[in-house]
A and B are shown apart, each in its own frame.
Chain A
Amino acid sequence: MTKRHLIANFPFVDAFDAVRADLPGAPLDWLQAARRNALARFQDQALPNRRVEEWKYTDLGALAKTDFAAPYGPIGDALAARIGATGDPDAIRLVIANGRVDSALSNTAGLPTGAHLMPMSTALDTHSDVLKDHITRIAALDGNGLLALNAAFMMDGYVLVVDDAAVIDPTIEVIFAGDGGQGPVALHPRNVIIMGQDSAATIIETHLGDGVYWSNPLTDVVMGEGASLRRYKVLQDATDAFHLAHDQVSLASGAHYKGFIGAFSAKLARHTVAATINGADATFDVAGTYLLRGDQHNDITTVVDHAAAGSASKQIFKGVLDDASRGVFQGKVTVHKDAQKTDAHQLNNALLLSDKAEIDAKPELEIYADDVKCAHGATAGDLDENELFYLQARGIDAAEARRLLVSAFVKAALDEIDRDAERARFETLVDAWLERANG
């Protein structure tokens, strides 16, 4: 058979026995066993290469060649200062730096009743029974070597539990920082979100860092009946960073998930969003924008499974690609046999601003139920010359005209964010990206 994986000899993998004592939940026997099993799975599966259909457009070769070590400890002062300046300083916040909670930079004092936010290490002490189920279930996902690695080296991430009927209004802020200042490091944050019946919450994650690091976060979201979650991701990783995220979302009847991904960074990033809709009247919406330059590579892969009748999903992505950057969008919607009356929409629009930029899109529908409405669309192209000319004819210079048009193009995705403060935050980031384009 043909080889379908990459050979990688990561120092941190070899150091498994040395590092595991420092990882969260060390005293838990079941967790140690799960870590060891996962490591064996990684050694069997390794990293996928491009012959694996789902990885056709994203090459992990450069990642496989980097000698990642386990993180070296606290982050540098400059990075700490940047974390301090991120987001709303008064917000409820949890900071995960180099795979470990940073209590000094965190502040969860204002958390309303009904919401429980803590780092994984604490949660394993206090909620180990609840988490055991989640961690075991995720370990059983038939994924690839990346999931196995996260399961083996699971580090601090956040655990958010919202009680039944609790409606949490203030936005919860979580910041992930990676510091490769002392050499490349690999981070495997694990997040768990458990939304009780009819609960509601909003969370915004920011990812940033310095130097060469690899963030491999795995997030498990379980939404109870009627639960509602808004989850926004801001990706401002370092220029030389690797970011390979996997979200696993399951929705019960009447649950609503609204996700947004704003990708502005990293050398190589892939965001896999997998959702299984298990109940009627549930909705899964995910939107996003990726603005890339240099030789950045950003891959958004969505896998939405409609496993119950009467649910809906919507995806809108807008990509802007400059220089020699490359955008990938793979979206797969599956409608299972009994999922009648499914309404699924998916759209990816990409703007190519440079001769060397590339977009690869694979919007996929797999449908086994007949009474459904499913549609997808994908476009690629440059800005409309007529629109540009029209703006110039009104006295706007070419650069400004381009900026206005790109901003308008991205807006359709941003408009999916229904909280003003968070939308404004993404708008600022888009504007900043465009400023640099003109600079």
Chain B
Amino acid sequence: MADVSETETINQATTERYKYGFVTDIESDTAPKGLDESTIRFISAKKDEPEWLLEWRLKAFRMWQALDEEEPTWAKVSYPKIDFQDSYYYSAPKEKPLLESLDDVDPKLLETYTKLGIPLQEQKMLAGVAVDAVFDSVSVATTFKEELSKHGVIFCPISEAVQKHPELVKKYLGSVVPTADNFYATLNSAVFTDGSFVYIPEGVRCPMELSTYFRINAAETGQFERTLIIADKGSYVSYLEGCTAPMRDEHQLHAAVVELIALDDAEIKYSTVQNWYPGDENGKGGIYNFVTKRGACRGKNSKISWTQVETGSAITWKYPSCILQGDNSVGEFYSIAITNNYQQADTGTKMIHMGKNTKSRIISKGISAGHADSTYRGLVKVMPGATGARNFTQCDSLLIGDQCGAHTVPYIEVRNKTAQVEHEATTSKISDEQLLYCRQRGLSEEDATTLIVNGFCRQVLQELPMEFAVEAQKLVGISLEGSVG
């Protein structure tokens, strides 16, 4: 990563609050509040889905109903019980835009994306980012389709993939995150509305970075998108995901499922900058981000790399994981989780080593400020067949102020003697010496803190694609606002 201007970052950090907190005034088409079989039939009918998918959803729904009292409680987060009947499960902008041309998209929507800084416009396409934008529950526009289709790359809303590529969806949907995986994944399987679908054909190196921006706009609406990425043999794709939501006083639920499949010699790089509305400084409002992300390195020599910068959400509950099935496959997890005010984050990864000579690497940087709690929770599991497996884990926590908490909960399970598993963790604060040194050179305490925290996060930031790295560095500053002095 080249040097990006941290000065700008810092200047913006001091003036910006949550800049994505606006609400777009768009008429939406919404399913009635509450959740029962009719809601699911409504969603499925809206999307004109085939019978098999409706059945798949209903099966998941019945499973979820049976789980009703089984909302997970093991994470180190606390929140009032969610009333799943007091939420909308489907909300779509009413004037449903045609997907063929951007000119047909509601100008207000485009304005929203401009505010978000998404390169949706033609001129910005030159930047080389193909964008699928998910607004509440539906995908509104996918840019750059033509260029991608030349290479045989499929990048479209999953609802469209269901219609046009049912064989791929049917084969892979739920193959990494089974319907019964966990409470939220089961719920998502029943009610998912939209999300991105990516297929990279054999031997293709995706010519550009693919990107999805998720946005929750409507009030009292849960967002349940479903993303499915398949990298066929010898292919490569880098996928970026960004998330924002308006400032609202009530909590909103986001329960996505992301499934990645890498076949022989394929590589998927998945980067997230999660900036859902975190609630105000008193902990009012904000998104509950309960997400299941998992990748299967199914083929030999395959690789899946997760990089995440988690600065938003009132509560984050998220463990992007890798199942290393193929021999010599590689899983990576690079994470920055920043919590301030009353935010809570319980995040980490699972690396399940099954194939021979599989390798995994985990670098986690947790920063807590204000009254926030940040937990790293991770599992490294070496199965008996994973001869020669290697793992290295490093978890560092930084505390800013004496009202916050930082926790590290690693699980290490090794059942093969040839494995080498190493875990290191530290917890500390920013040293007074470092602060004085920066301030003696003219930096304010807040700027010095941002600079030092960015340094602390560097190992992860440098894994991000350039444009995301710039945004992430800015977010570090914004997220820590009000935490010093």
Contact = CB atoms under 8 A, between A and B. Distances in A.
Contacts of B404: 368, 370
A372 B413 CA distance: 28
A305 B464 CA distance: 38
Interface in A334-383: 337, 340, 350, 352-382
A366 B407 contact: yes
A376 B402 contact: no
Interface stretch (B27-35, B85-93, B144-152, B420-428): B420-428
B427 A372 contact: yes
B377 to A, nearest CB: 10
Nearest to A335: B427
A371 B414 CA distance: 34
Contact of A362 (B412, B414, B427): B412
Contacts of A360: 411-414
A1 interface: yes
Contacts of A375: 424-427
B12 interface: no
Contacts of B401: 370
A53 interface: yes
B417 A382 contact: yes
B400 interface: yes
Contacts of A380: 382, 412, 414, 419-421
Given A53-B74, A370-B402, A376-B408, A363 B423 contact: yes
A364 B377 CA distance: 9
Given A375-B427, A380-B414, A381-B421, A365 B407 contact: yes
Contacts of A379: 420-423
B94 interface: no
Interface string B419-449: 1111111111100000000000000000000
B416 A1 contact: no
B423 A377 contact: yes
A369 B402 CA distance: 5
Contacts of A353: 417
Contacts of B384: 355-356
Given A53-B74, A375-B426, A366 B405 contact: yes
A364 B412 contact: no
Nearest to A382: B417
Contacts, number: 118
A381 B410 contact: no
Given A362-B411, A372-B427, A375-B426, A367 B419 contact: no
Nearest to B69: A1
Interface string A377-402: 11111100000000000000000000
A22 B404 CA distance: 52
Given A370-B399, A375-B425, A381 B409 contact: no
A359 B414 contact: yes
Contacts of B422: 377-379
Contacts of A371: 402, 429
A113 to B, nearest CB: 46
B399 A367 contact: yes
Contacts of B38: none
B206 interface: no
A377 B425 contact: yes
B410 A354 contact: no
A352 B412 CA distance: 14
Contacts of A377: 422-425
B11 interface: no
Given A370-B399, A372-B427, A377-B424, A361 B416 contact: no
B402 A337 contact: yes
Given A1-B69, A374-B427, A355 B416 contact: yes
Nearest to A385: B418
A352 B414 contact: yes
Contacts of B410: 361-364, 378
A354 B429 CA distance: 41
Nearest to A360: B413
Contacts of A378: 410, 412, 421-423
What are the 8 A-B residue pairs with the smallest beta carbon separation, nearest first?
A: A352-B417, A370-B399, A381-B420, A380-B414, A361-B412, A365-B408, A374-B427, A370-B429
27 contacts: A53-B74, A337-B402, A352-B419, A355-B384, A355-B417, A359-B413, A361-B410, A361-B423, A364-B407, A364-B409, A365-B397, A365-B407, A367-B399, A370-B401, A370-B402, A372-B399, A373-B426, A373-B428, A374-B427, A375-B425, A377-B422, A377-B424, A379-B421, A379-B423, A380-B412, A381-B417, A381-B419
Interface of A: 1-2, 53, 337, 340, 350, 352-382
Given A340-B402, A380-B420, A382-B417, 17 more contacts: A1-B69, A53-B74, A352-B416, A352-B417, A355-B417, A360-B412, A367-B427, A370-B400, A373-B427, A373-B428, A375-B424, A376-B408, A378-B410, A379-B420, A380-B412, A381-B418, A381-B419
